[in-house]
Amino acid sequence: MPPTVTVVIDPYGEYRRPRMAGIPFESTLRALLAQSFPAELTTILLTCTAAEVPIVRELVADEPRIRVVGVPDGSGYYQKKNVGMREATTDIVLLADGDCMYPPDWVAEMVGAFERSGKRAVYIQGISRFAPGPYAHILSPVYWRGYEPEGPISQIYSAHNLAIRREDVPAFSFEDTPLRAGLERTLSARIRRAGRVIWHNRRTVVMHEGSSSLHELRMQALGRGYYRMILWRRHPNRLDRVLRPLGYLGIPIYVALVSMRDSVRQLRDRETRGLTGLALLKLPAYIALTIGFHIVGGLSMVRVLRHLNRTGEFPAPEMYDTDGPPDLGRRDDAVVETQPVAPA
């Protein structure tokens, strides 16, 4: 008998969305309802704030497999994940986001990976890439290491493409904080200290909505720098502990190091992204834009550190806030729905 499964999904109604959404939440939900895994064994939990509930109601009215779970206003990205994981009563829990496209085999392949990974595995991490767009080849290696082989990996790198056994949820939930980015790193460290592993599943690929304009790309870089500085101060790793005493000088050093790291990733990930033959001529431009992305992130780190030194508090994360009421990214007629791609 296959295990029972709960998919916990954040509809992403209170986060900044691209001007024209390439993957609106309605498309995400349809993809999850069309999974090849047995429908009678699957439950979908939507973790919604009070403001999000009315805008998802019409999408779930006739879907008995979907249940809306309320979360307190002001809940952070990881707090929503935690609420959904605790509410689940099935054998396995999968974490999803409302701005991603899930292939038909996603649930089945993530569940099947537990058989290959063994009992030491806490989380199954699937492959993620940014959906085809003008900046997808720049962003994918910055956020995800798609070239890593099947097997144990050191770090969770996306909370929108994860699976965990329900029995492991109490010990390995995310930190209870309103932060919206970066806590995969701290959870990964806890898993390693416990002698457990994170398993990389290469048999399915999830497409994440990307930036469709330079403005959106800039906002994404600012957000990355913002949360990087918070982690630097609240959850320092070994590199942070070396650089933090240097103050502002540590920021350009950090930017140089991550620029080198992600330039190497651009090279290592080239075949999985189809960059072969003449397409390799694009790599210098991708590397240059990768470095520019990190420079913008570094400027955001400077802003956060300056505000922190002046006031003792972190500034508001304005680059991630929405400009209006909750928005599920309803698709413009001109936007073509992104289709999932086959795994590498």
| 329 is a domain residue | no
What is the span of the domain harbouring residue 249?
214-311
* pLDDT of 328: 55
| 275: CB partners within 8 A, 6+ apart | 137, 282, 283
182 with 280, same domain: the answer is no
Question: What is the number of structural domains in the chain?
Answer: 2
Residues 194 and 225 in one domain: no
| Rg of the chain on CA atoms, in Å | 20
- Write down the H helix ranges in the chain: 25-33, 53-60, 77-87, 106-117, 136-143, 183-193, 214-234, 238-243, 250-268, 283-311
- Give me the CATH number covering residue 139: 3.90.550.10
Give a yes or no: residue 323 inside a domain. Answer: no
The verdict on 167 and 59 lying in the same domain is: yes
Instruction: Let me know whether 146 and 250 are in one domain.
Output: no
Q: CA–CA distance from 35 to each of 116, 118, 291 (Å)?
A: 21, 24, 38
pLDDT of residue 162: 97
Q: Would residue 110 count as lying in a domain?
A: yes
**Rounded-to-integer distance, Cα 314 and Cα 306, Å:** 9
Do 41 and 132 lie in one domain? The reply is yes
Task: Tally Cβ neighbours within 10 Å of residue 177.
Answer: 17
- In this predicted structure, what is the pLDDT of residue 338? 42
87 vs 228: CA distance, rounded Å: 30
Predicted confidence pLDDT, tens digits, the chain (344 residues):
889 999 999 987 777 666 666 788 888 999 999 999 999 999 999 998 888 888 888 888 888 889 999 988 878 889 999 999 999 999 999 999 999 999 999 999 999 999 999 999 999 999 999 998 888 888 999 998 878 899 999 999 999 999 999 999 999 999 888 778 889 999 999 999 999 999 999 999 999 988 888 888 998 899 899 989 988 888 888 899 999 899 999 999 999 999 999 999 888 888 877 788 887 888 899 899 999 999 999 999 999 999 999 998 888 776 555 444 555 555 443 333 444 444 44
pLDDT value of position 7? 98
Asked whether residue 114 is assigned to any structural domain, the reply reads yes
Within-domain flag for 204: yes
| Pair 104, 247 in one domain | no
Instruction: Based on the fold, state whether residues 61 and 77 are members of the same structural domain.
Output: yes
- In angstroms, the Cα distances linking 175 to 57, 80, 116, 292 are 29, 11, 28, 31
- Residue 90 belongs to a domain: yes
How is residue 233 written in tokens? 């101060």
Please indicate, yes or no, whether residues 151 and 290 belong to a single structural domain of this protein: no
Let me know whether 63 and 92 are in one domain: yes
Same domain, 222 and 191: no
Instruction: Please report the pLDDT score of residue 267 as a whole number.
Output: 86
pLDDT of residue 330: 55
Q: Is position 19 within any domain?
A: yes
The Cα–Cα gap between 71 and 10 comes to 11
Task: Looking at the structure, tell me whether residues 191 and 142 fall in a common domain.
Answer: yes
From the list 79, 27, 20, the residue with the least C-alpha distance to 48 is 79
Residue 321's contacts (CB-CB under 8 Å, 6 or more residues apart) are 16
**Do 146 and 270 lie in a common domain?**
no
Residue-level pLDDT at 342: 45
